[in-house]
């Protein structure tokens, strides 16, 4: 019984550590007022890595007017690196956004 309790405690600890290192939790979107976007009454959308020491690879799908475009991008983001510009929040036809498909650490 004691061995089972120890095993269960280790399993719970491992699960908690895995959650702390979920790469998706370190993917952050931000906005900037880039000139070409402001001209369209929109903002520049950027994606960045907030992890202090690990590189994150992220896969993103682009949606235009709430419809998937089939565009999938893969971006490698180093810890402490610059956020990567994705595009404007609006095109001439309507709004667009990016959604995370998956993220993983690559180091």
Kindly list the domain boundaries of the chain, sorted by start residue: 23-105
User: Can you tell me the distance from the alpha carbon of 107 to that of 54, in angstroms, rounded to the nearest whole number?
Assistant: 6
CATH code for residues 23-105: 2.60.40
Predicted pLDDT at 67: 97
Spell out the alpha helix ranges (H) of the chain.
2-20, 35-38
Structure tokens at 40: 């369209």
Q: What is the full per-residue pLDDT of the chain (107 aa) written as tens digits? A: 555 454 544 555 544 444 468 999 999 999 999 889 999 899 999 999 999 999 999 999 999 999 999 999 999 999 999 999 999 999 999 999 999 999 999 98
Q: Which two tokens stand for residue 19?
A: 């959650």
At 107 the pLDDT is 86
What is the distance between the alpha carbons of residues 42 and 31, in angstroms, rounded to a whole number? 10
């Amino acid at each position: 019984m004691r061995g089972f309790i120890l095993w269960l405690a280790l399993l719970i600890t491992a699960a908690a550590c895995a959650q702390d290192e979920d790469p998706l939790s370190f993917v952050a979107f931000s906005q900037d007022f880039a000139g070409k976007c402001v001209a369209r009454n929109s903002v520049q959308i950027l994606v960045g890595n907030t992890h202090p020491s690990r590189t994150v690879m992220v896969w993103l799908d682009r949606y235009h007017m709430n419809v998937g475009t089939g565009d999938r991008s893969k971006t490698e983001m180093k810890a402490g690196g610059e956020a990567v510009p994705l595009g404007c929040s609006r095109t001439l036809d309507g709004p667009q956004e990016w959604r995370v498909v998956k993220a993983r650490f690559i180091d």
